[in-house]
A and B are shown apart, each in its own frame.
Chain A
Amino acid sequence: MFLINCPYCGERDQQEFKAGGEAHIERPKQPTELSDDEWAEYLFMRKNIKGVQFERWNHAHGCRKWFNMVRDTSNDEIKAIYKMGEKPPAQ
């Protein structure tokens, strides 16, 4: 059970949060211009790696804010947490 440092509320138990999949996948601004393959790339393709992963999390039972997390999936170490719109820390 992680202890997650919500950038708005501070340290809270994982129970209060919802994982939201891979981070930094931007919705295309002009979807109609995209080929089927390009759109499918955005829609379906997600990384699932053993190691350092960039993820979206939501403090669903707290402030309801979304934020980003860098997590090592091999040992669940949370390496960094930063707000939406902020640049990911250098790894």
Chain B
Amino acid sequence: MIKNLRVKSSEYIDETNRISFKFNGKTYHGFKGDTLASALLANNVHLVGRSFKYHRPRGIMTSGSEEPNAIVQVNPGTNRTEPNVRATEVEIYEGLEASSQNCWPSVEFDIGGINNFLSPFFPAGFYYKTFMWPASFWEKYEFFIRHSAGLGKSPTSSDPDIYDHRNIHCDVLVVGAGISGILAAKNAAKNNYKTLLVDEKNEIGGSTIFENNEFNKIDNKTPSEWLKKEIEELKNIKNLEIKTRTSVAAYHQYNYLLARENLTDHLEAKDKTNKIRQRLLKLRAKKVILATGALERPLIFNNNDRPGIMLSSAVKKYSEFYGVACGSKNIFFTNNDSAYESALSLYNKGINVEAIIDIREQSESKIVKKVKEAGIKIYWSYSIVDTTGYKRLNSVSIMKLSNDGTSVTGSKISISCDCLGVAGGWTPAVHLYTQSGSKLKFDEEKKVFVPNQNTSEQISVGSCGGDFKIDEIIKNLNQKLKDTLNIKETDLDNIKVEIDQENSKRNIWLLPSDKPLGKTKPFVDYQNDATAKDIKLALREGFRSIEHVKRYTTTGMGTDQGKLGNMHALGIIADTAGVKMGELGTTTFRPPYTPLTFGTIVGRNVGKFFDIFRRTPMNDWHVENKAEFENVGQWKRAWYYPINGETMHQAVQRESKAARESAGILDASTLGKIDIQGSDASEFLNRVYTNAWSKLAIGKCRYGLMLNEDGMVYDDGVTTRLGENHYIMTTTTGGAANVLGKLEDYLQTEWPELDVYLTSVTDHYATASLCGPNSKKILKKIIPDLDLSDENFPHMSFKEANIGSIQCRIMRISFTGEHSYEINVQASYGKDLWKKCMEAGQEFNITPYGTETMHLLRAEKGFIIVGQDTDGTMTPIDLQMDWIVSKKKYDFIGKRSLYRSDTMREDRKQLVGLLTDDPNIVLEEGAQIVSELNQSPVEMLGHVTSSYFSPNLNKSIALAVVRGGKDLMGKKLFVPMENKNINVTVAHPVFYDEKNERLNA
């Protein structure tokens, strides 16, 4: 029968609401208000997991988010499963299932436990040292290491839950709703600051809410009673929002914080659906008040990790808050007065406390006297040297500590017990504080790091600020609030605090044992199984920096980031190396404070919202006509239109032939379009393009090449002069935003004297490009009254016209080498325009073609694509486009760089055509080009940039960049591939219609 350790009803536990849940397949019962940890403890289950490296049995150590051991897999085997969840944070609900991690076949019998007995062979750096040789064996090692590594199992199917992001701006953000946080928030809100108070727990009040120590009084009430009254008053305060189950994960610069608000994790499955599971709060606060409290430290002694060994404060919380006794024979082990409060709490509830082992010589505080009066045996100046019990603690052995605390003497006493509460002092939770970039200092007296220099408007109050006594806390909080909030009076001015707390403690980072250190297991980082001897080994091997020791031993690198043991690690390093702790500094605390799910981080940006995409106005038509799409920048562009089960190659060959033989149509709406106006528009174009623009007549179009200041080709496109001071520029699809940004940069910063205005109109127009020998006839059918003669409407010119009542801009320009027209209409008419062209072109078998055919057709003509045939290292001269670079213009962007010694080198890579000796072999884009085959190493001359099988030439064609290629015309080169060498000949890059006769056909 399962022993029930529920000892007393608690106001936080609803005993009328009994909940059943499963742990490792077995059904247990708890009550509404329980965490998985408290419910398991009530069922006398301590063993919940196995440790990472040695697979040692581990139990619940804490009652909060700092838990290193009790990490479980929640709802295993479902698509809602989540690994590495702290049992101390899981609120139970009907139907909850959880299982242990890192054990096989079960937590009770774990084969990996063999590692514990082999542990002498697993020192720090074991993997680094062992799996080095022979190098070729790594793949074999990796297989086994991967299988034994990792905690928990990630879900295999997609997450069914919804996540959300929310921005919140507030005057004051208070992190942590313990006594300090509550008082801070209350006073901020009362003084008209818009205040947000967040706490990771489901109830506010922190640890004071169950603080019933009769020796501490606030206004003659116990701290617990007094705080409950304060919380009651919060309800009537305006300007105050309180968020529970909200854990601040990160504190960035300029008071920007990220928090996870948990909305449905505590609900039954049926209540989770269609609700937001977690919300990432993006908080921007004018002032931040950190009231994150302090974490109790354990003590580092031999075998300090057995199930049943817990923090003293956790033992107290389980009894006071959850009404659960963690053991029936309890012992406390301490270096300060905290354990006495826990012991008294248990005693008052009738729970047996066997003894307190105190490493101090003595303490005279009232609470210690009270414990003595209760008849609890206190062992002064004793230390635990060993513990026994594999799956549950069953005894501790203690010995007298020497005066200097470095050894133990006398005879060993064994005390039987099933729960040990350990109290090693308190560490301020400064994690968020340091994340903000603020600096800590070491307080020699308190032996902790406390906030020192703030980088933003923030204060740390309460125990996270280094104040541990309630009178100190309230006094300092009061002053800090007045300073920060610029107020003269607070609620705290007239509070009367009586206290009996003695700060006496004896700090020994690593407690001695009767055995040599090498034969003991004093765990410092429980989750990663790093012991004090690992740390000492690292120091012996020469590591000095705390950051290096951390990485070598993995201390503090678990999912808990070593919240319990980091101070001990520092202390042991300082003691061993003989330096002061303050000089070592701390390791960096990185976000998130507690792990975040990926879902929370991405929020709504999943599935089709993961990456935004743009579609053209004609998109529906492409979809209806079974186009395949490709991504170009953010655009989804029609790639090719297969019919009757064609392959891509077949479709592209058909489309390419049709466009040259009769008529083709391309959706060119994605090209960037920038409207340029102003009296200096022509001068502006002169400065940004390599060629001259002043003399371009109104109604004419010109191709332009844009360079970077370093002389390399940046973008290209056709610009049309619409009026005296009005141009429309087209850019490449992918380059549109960057080109606009670059032009604006020059206008605003280098040439503010120019009267030029730029507007992006890419989305405002839809463009159909009609091409082929019959394009003129088709356009004539659509706009009968437009004179399409070469005299009236020659190549590289522009007309405005109407299709019915729809205005359109038509440019007679060509990217295929065929006679063609680009028709632009207002975007909303794009689909109608397309359909009209298709209808009019039907008798000419008009063929829609996609980007692949466009690429093939332009390659036949040797037209470059910026970004495919160029890569940011090609000048116009390299591209054999000297004709477009004005010699007369005094300056343009990049001009000076064309005369640098490097850009004028003769042996630069230059754009050439390549023809394969076997016309049926199509080269691979990216393939390397060499001049010698039987040479090693062989010089790479260049690579293939574009390659297609041309249906119009009935042979393979390619563009390539080749070192000194201009002078290699007709030369035989080789393209070595995996299985063969391909013979190629350098050719002129224009393969088709060199004389441009078809443009006017």
Closest B residue to A65 by beta carbon equals B748
Q: State whether A43 touches B897 (Cβ < 8 A).
A: yes
Interface positions, chain A 37-56, Cβ under 8 Å from B, are: 39-40, 43, 56
Evaluate contact between B895 and A32: CB separation under 8 angstroms.
yes
Question: Please, what's the 1-or-0 string for A1-13, where 1 marks a CB less than 8 Å from any CB in chain B?
Answer: 1110000000001
Contacts A1-B252, A2-B253, A39-B896 hold; do A13 and B745 have CB atoms under 8 A apart? no
CB-CB under 8 A from B744, the residues of chain A are 64, 66
Question: Which residue of chain A lies nearest to B284 when distances are taken between CB atoms in the complex?
Answer: A3
Q: Which residues of A contact B752 (CB under 8 A)?
A: 84-85
In the complex, how many residues of chain A place their beta carbon closer than 8 angstroms to a beta carbon of chain B? 28
- Would you call B979 an interface residue if the criterion is a C-beta within 8 Å of the partner chain's C-beta atoms? no
Is B236 in the interface zone, CB < 8 Å from A?
no
Chain A residues with CB under 8 A of B255? 3
Is A62 part of the binding interface, using a Cβ–Cβ cutoff of 8 Å? no
Chain A positions 53 through 91: 1 when the CB is less than 8 Å from some CB of chain B, otherwise 0: 000101010001110000000011100000011000000
**Partner of B890 from A1, A3, A32, A40 at Cβ < 8 Å:** A32
Report the minimum CB–CB distance from B892 to chain A (whole Å): 10
Give A85 to B751 CA distance when docked, in angstroms. Answer: 11
A66 touches B745 (CB 8 A): yes
Chain B residues with CB under 8 A of A60: 741
B748, A31: Cβ atoms closer than 8 Å? no
CB contacts (< 8 Å) of B899 on chain A: these are 32
Distance in Å: Cβ of A58 to nearest Cβ of chain B = 7
User: Is A19 close to B, CB under 8 A?
Assistant: no
The answer to whether A40 and B256 have CB atoms under 8 Å apart is no
Cβ-defined partner of A31 (8 Å) among B254, B710, B741, B891:
B891
Number of interface residues of B (CB under 8 A): 25
Which residues 745-765 of B sit at the A interface, judged by CB distance below 8 A? 745, 748-750, 752
In the docked arrangement, what's the CA distance between A56 and B890, Å?
28
Task: Assess whether A2 is in contact with B254, with CB atoms less than 8 Å apart.
Answer: yes
B-side contacts of A56, CB under 8 Å: 749
- Whether A36 pairs with B749 at a CB distance below 8 angstroms is no
Say if the beta carbon of B551 comes within 8 Å of chain A: no
Measured CB to CB, the nearest residue on chain B to A18 is B741
- Closest residue of A by beta carbon distance from B896: A31
Contact between B254 and A20, CB atoms less than 8 A apart? no
Q: Determine whether the beta carbon of B284 is less than 8 Å from that of A84.
A: no
Check if B976 is an interface residue, CB within 8 A of chain A. Answer: no
CB distance from B951 to the nearest CB of A (A): 44
B749 touches A84 (CB 8 A): yes
Whole-angstrom distance between the Cβ of B425 and the nearest chain A Cβ: 32
Q: A1-B254, A3-B254 are in contact. Are A13 and B896 (CB under 8 A)?
A: no
A83 to chain B, nearest CB (A): 10
Residues from chain B with a CB closer than 8 A to the CB of A31 are 891, 895-896
A66 x B710 contact (CB < 8 A): no
Whole-angstrom CA separation of A75 from B895 in the bound complex? 39
Q: Report the separation of the CA atoms of residues A64 and B896 in the bound assembly, to the nearest whole angstrom.
A: 28
Is B934 close to A, CB under 8 A? no
Instruction: Give the tally of cross-chain contacts (CB within 8 A).
Output: 56
- Bound Cα distance A58, B59 (Å): 54
A27 to B901 alpha-carbon distance, docked (Å): 20
B1000 at the binding interface (Cβ < 8 Å): no
In chain A, what residue has the closest Cβ to B256?
A1
Complex Cα distance A15/B811, Å? 39
Assess whether B437 is in contact with A66, with CB atoms less than 8 Å apart: no
Q: Is B709 an interface residue (CB 8 A)?
A: yes
With A and B bound together, what is the CA distance between A29 and B253 in angstroms? 40
| Set of chain A residues within 8 Å of B895, measured between Cβ atoms | 31-32
Does B900 make an interface contact (CB < 8 A)?
Answer: yes
Please name the residue on chain B nearest to A32 by beta carbon.
B896
Contacts of A84 in B (CB 8 A): 748-749, 752
B880 contacts A by Cβ under 8 Å: no
B650 proximal to A (CB < 8 A):
no
CB-based contact A27/B750 at 8 Å: yes
In Å, the complex CA distance between A11 and B679 comes to 34
Given A3-B284, A31-B891, A36-B900, answer yes or no on A76-B745 (Cβ-Cβ < 8 Å): no
Report the Cα distance A73→B891, complex, angstroms: 35
User: Is A76's CB under 8 angstroms from B741's CB?
Assistant: no
The reply to whether A39 and B455 form a contact with Cβ atoms under 8 Å apart is no
CB contacts under 8 Å to A, within B247-266, are 252-256
Q: A65-B748, A84-B749 are in contact. Are A34 and B896 (CB under 8 A)?
A: yes
B748 touches A66 (CB 8 A): yes
CB-based contact B745/A58 at 8 Å:
yes
CB distance from B780 to the nearest CB of A (A): 42
Would you give the shortest CB distance from A43 to chain B, in whole angstroms? 6
User: Is B256 within 8 A of A76, CB to CB?
Assistant: no
Contact present for B256 and A3 (CB under 8 Å): yes
Residues of B within 8 A of A58 (CB): 741, 745
Q: Could you mark each residue 786-821 of chain B with 1 if its beta carbon is under 8 Å from any beta carbon of chain A, else 0?
A: 000000000000000000000000000000000000
B284 contacts A66, C-beta separation under 8 Å? no
Q: Please determine whether A13 and B284 come into contact, CB atoms closer than 8 angstroms.
A: yes
A61 to B963, CA, bound (A): 42
Interface residues of B in 726-773 (CB under 8 A from A): 741, 744-745, 748-750, 752
Chain B residues with CB under 8 A of A2: 253-254
Determine the distance from Cα of A47 to Cα of B953 in the docked complex, in whole angstroms.
Answer: 54
Closest approach, in angstroms, between the C-beta of A18 and any C-beta of chain B? 8
Q: Does B710 contact A75, Cβ atoms closer than 8 Å?
A: no
Chain A residue at minimal CB-CB distance from B891: A31
Q: Contact: B900 with A39, CB < 8 Å?
A: yes
Check A40–B900 contact: CB distance below 8 A: yes
A76 pairs with B749, CB closer than 8 A: no
Shortest CB-to-CB span from A60 to chain B, Å, is: 7
Bound complex: CA A66 to CA B743 (Å): 12
Return chain A residues, CB-CB under 8 Å to B254.
1-3
Interface residues of B in 862-916 (CB under 8 A from A): 890-891, 895-897, 899-901
> A21: shortest Cβ distance to chain B, in Å?
11
Contacts of B745 in A (CB 8 A): 20, 58, 66
Do the beta carbons of B897 and A39 come within 8 Å of each other?
yes
Q: Which of B547-578 contact A (CB under 8 A)?
A: none
Chain A residues near B890 (CB-CB < 8 A):
32
Complex alpha-carbon distance, A56 and B455, angstroms: 23
- Closest Cβ of chain A to B952, distance in Å, is 43
Partner of B710, one of A26, A27, A30, A43: A43
Closest chain-A Cβ to B168's Cβ sits at a distance in Å of 13
Q: Which chain B residue has the least Cβ–Cβ distance from A28? A: B896
| Closest-CB distance, A80 to chain B (whole angstroms) | 15
A86→B891 CA distance, assembly (Å): 26
Q: List, sorted by A's number, 17 A–B pairs whose CB atoms are closer than 8 Å.
A: A1-B256, A2-B253, A3-B254, A3-B256, A13-B284, A26-B750, A27-B709, A31-B891, A39-B897, A43-B709, A43-B710, A43-B897, A60-B741, A66-B745, A75-B455, A84-B748, A84-B752
Seen from chain B, the residues whose Cβ lies within 8 Å of a Cβ on chain A are: 252-256, 284, 437, 455, 709-710, 741, 744-745, 748-750, 752, 890-891, 895-897, 899-901
**7 shortest interchain CB distances as A-B pairs:** A31-B896, A3-B254, A1-B256, A66-B748, A27-B750, A1-B252, A39-B896
Q: Which residues of A contact B (CB under 8 A)?
A: 1-3, 13, 18, 20, 26-28, 30-32, 34, 36, 39-40, 43, 56, 58, 60, 64-66, 75-77, 84-85
Q: Contacts A27-B750, A43-B897, A64-B744 given; 5 further ones with Cβ under 8 A?
A: A1-B253, A2-B254, A32-B896, A58-B745, A85-B752
